[in-house]
């Protein structure tokens, strides 16, 4: 949780404090020294540090340079969601039925699952979602339904049919993180694929199971024992099959990776139909997607998901692209009545204008940052973070960011002094290393900062260490 100092500094009295000018000479020396390194010399490198307490930019270098943000986009998406939806918002999924129930308990009609874009509906990663089918089935039983003389429909109409943005990379969209958002998401739109190694180096790896079941063309081979796992999935958005390439080490008994799940709503409807049949509720019809709601229907139950704070924390701290795209399209739906990439983009630009930000310094085409068509400047990031620090939802927004002095997957953040606070978000992709966030120093002054690096010519660990040196200087301010 945030320290009391951070909250007071960011929201109330700290915005009015006046202290001596910051000494940025050492920070400037480290940044300039970093940009002279061969690994960064030909890269795009930008740094901006803003003192929110004094409302002044205290350091900048190339802060007007347009850069690929990667997952930094999630900050814009989640802040806008807090502003539009409020922290108490919950995703809700609905189960309706049409027709009548006769005396024998037969529903002469259909069941309709209506989604609201809940990114974690039926996700197997969380204990409370393991029993989603059970809860829905219990609601059916309590209604007295023993047999369904009809179909299970999945209504995804809240969002457009295109889950994938045209500018997303081919080597992303076959993997779970590039699956996109659907009106009904299922198991985070992913397929768990389990492998075991072959008997000898060079032998094909063996796929032991997939869930949900899809057609998988397996080209993964067995490598030496010291081989690093390297698995990638390929496949078109609506093609119900995936190609898998890569290598796993000799001796691997069981390991699993996640592919993207095409047509998640159809898989959910199919699996729920099979679940009911195997648990004593007969269903005569076949599962179907994109159902137009009948004129006469009744609500059977509501299944609630996570609140917005938890959704945001999972979005930012685990870089969950599906959650970001679900929020992005949901806000587009609230604006235009249909959740699309275009309507989400229109909502975001209206939000930026509400914050009085210069939108010529940003190009935002999706909610997660997967697209390489996205662009931001370091100055825009700091201005955005400053504006959000003055919003009533700031405590929830900042509390959902990376915690204190570390980012789980990238251990580049130095220890933070006891009386200071750090909240940080990474944006990482091939050739992209970005780190932005908030920092409070020992004098209760609050800063926003942005370190953006694109197109560096070294390995990721080398650039991480160079950026770590800059962060060390920022937290000394």
Domain spans in the chain, listed from the N-terminal domain onward: 4-87+309-474, 90-161+265-306, 187-260
* Span between the terminal Cα atoms of the chain, in Å: 22
**Count of CB atoms within 10 A of residue 131's CB?**
12
CA dist 36 → 12, 459, 466 (Å): 40, 17, 11
Could you say which DSSP state residue 356 is in? T
Could you say which DSSP state residue 67 is in? B
Burial 200-236 (b: 16+ CB within 10 A, else e): eeeeebbeeebbbebebebebbbbeeebeeebebbbe
Q: Which pLDDT does position 382 carry in this prediction?
A: 98
Can you name the CATH fold of 4-87+309-474? Beta-lactamase (3.40.710)
Q: Which pLDDT does position 44 carry in this prediction?
A: 96
Q: Classify 78 as helix, strand or coil.
A: helix
Task: Say if residues 471 and 435 touch (Cβ distance below 8 Å).
Answer: yes
H helices present in 23-117, as ranges:
25-35, 73-85
Say how far residue 42 (Cα) sits from the centre of its chain: 30
Work out whether strand 215-223 and strand 190-196 pair parallel, antiparallel, or are unpaired.
unpaired
Task: Say if residues 421 and 404 touch (Cβ distance below 8 Å).
Answer: yes
Q: How wide is the angle at C-alpha 88 spanned by C-alphas 269 and 324, nearest 5°?
A: 55
Compute the half-sphere exposure of residue 256: CA atoms within 13 Å on the CB side of its CA: 11
Please, which residues bridge with residue 433 across strands? Answer: 428, 453
Q: Which pLDDT does position 17 carry in this prediction?
A: 39
Structure tokens belonging to residue 393: 């939802």
Task: Say if residues 381 and 436 touch (Cβ distance below 8 Å).
Answer: yes
Cis status of the peptide bond prior to 12, with omega within 30 of 0: no
- In order along the chain (477 residues), what is the average pLDDT of each group of 10 residues? 46 41 83 92 95 94 97 97 93 94 95 94 73 93 96 94 94 95 94 96 96 92 95 89 96 95 94 95 93 82 90 89 97 96 98 97 98 98 97 90 51 72 90 94 91 94 91 88
Dihedral angle sign, alpha carbons of residues 287, 290, 292, 293: positive
> What is the number of H-type helices and E-type strands within the chain?
12, 22
Nearest-angstrom CA–CA distance, 435 and 57: 17
Work out whether strand 56-61 and strand 106-108 pair parallel, antiparallel, or are unpaired.
unpaired
Sheet holding 282-283, edge to edge: 100-101, 106-108, 147-148, 282-283
Could you say which DSSP state residue 113 is in? E
Structure tokens belonging to residue 295: 């004129």
Choosing among 3.50.50.60, 3.90.25.10, 3.50.80.20, 2.40.128.20, the CATH entry for 90-161+265-306 is 3.50.80.20
Could you say which DSSP state residue 22 is in? P
Nearest-angstrom CA–CA distance, 381 and 452: 10
CA dist 56 → 60, 66, 137, 341, 379 (Å): 11, 21, 58, 34, 12
For 375-428, the DSSP string reads EE-HHHHHHHHHHHTTSTTHHHHHHTSB-TT-BTTB--PPP--TT-EEEEEEEE
Nearest-angstrom CA–CA distance, 408 and 33: 28
Q: Which pLDDT does position 87 carry in this prediction?
A: 86
Q: Which pLDDT does position 406 carry in this prediction?
A: 43
Work out whether strand 241-249 and strand 215-223 pair parallel, antiparallel, or are unpaired.
parallel
């Amino acid at each position: 949780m945030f320290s009391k100092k951070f909250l007071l500094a960011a929201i109330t009295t700290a915005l009015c404090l006046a202290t001596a000018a910051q000494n940025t000479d050492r920070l400037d020396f480290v940044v300039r020294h970093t940009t002279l390194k061969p690994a960064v010399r030909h890269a795009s490198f930008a740094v901006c540090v803003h003192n929110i307490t004094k409302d002044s930019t205290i350091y900048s270098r190339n802060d007007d340079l347009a850069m690929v943000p990667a997952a930094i986009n999630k900050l814009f998406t989640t802040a806008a969601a807090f502003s539009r939806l409020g922290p108490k918002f919950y995703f809700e999924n609905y189960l309706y039925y049409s027709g009548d129930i006769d005396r024998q308990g037969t529903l002469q009609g259909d069941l309709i699952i209506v989604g609201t874009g809940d990114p974690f509906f039926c996700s197997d990663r969380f204990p409370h979602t393991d029993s989603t089918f059970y809860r829905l089935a219990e609601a059916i039983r309590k209604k007295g339904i023993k047999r369904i003389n009809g179909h299970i429909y999945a209504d995804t109409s809240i969002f457009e049919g295109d889950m994938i943005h045209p500018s997303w990379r081919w080597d992303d969209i076959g993997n779970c993180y590039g699956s996109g958002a659907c009106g009904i998401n299922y198991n985070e739109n992913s397929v768990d694929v389990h492998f075991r190694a072959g008997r000898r180096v060079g032998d094909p790896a063996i796929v032991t199971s997939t869930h949900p079941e899809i057609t998988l063309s397996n080209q993964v081979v067995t490598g030496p024992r010291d081989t690093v796992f390297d698995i990638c999935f390929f496949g078109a958005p609506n093609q119900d099959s995936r190609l898998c390439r890569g290598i796993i080490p000799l001796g691997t008994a069981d390991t699993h990776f996640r592919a993207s799940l095409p047509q998640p709503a159809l898989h959910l409807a199919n699996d729920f139909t099979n679940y009911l049949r195997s648990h004593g509720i007969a269903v005569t019809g076949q599962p179907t997607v994109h159902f137009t709601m009948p004129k006469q229907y009744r609500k059977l139950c509501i299944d609630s998901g996570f609140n917005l704070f938890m959704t945001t924390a999972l979005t930012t701290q685990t870089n969950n692209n599906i959650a970001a795209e679900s929020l992005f399209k949901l806000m587009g739906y609230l604006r235009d009545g249909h959740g699309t990439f275009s309507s989400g983009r229109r909502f975001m630009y209206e939000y930026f204008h509400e914050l009085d930000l210069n939108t010529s310094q940003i190009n935002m085409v999706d909610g997660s940052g997967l697209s390489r068509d996205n662009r931001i400047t370091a100055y825009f990031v700091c201005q955005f973070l400053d504006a959000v620090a003055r919003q009533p939802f700031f405590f929830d927004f900042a509390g959902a960011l990376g915690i204190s002095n570390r980012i789980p997957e990238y251990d580049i953040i130095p220890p933070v002094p006891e009386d200071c606070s750090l909240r940080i978000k990474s944006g990482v992709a091939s050739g992209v290393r970005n780190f932005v966030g908030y920092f409070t120093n020992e004098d209760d002054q609050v800063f926003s900062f942005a370190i953006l690096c694109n197109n560096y010519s070294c390995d990721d660990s080398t650039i991480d260490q160079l950026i770590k040196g800059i962060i060390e200087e920022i937290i000394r301010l």
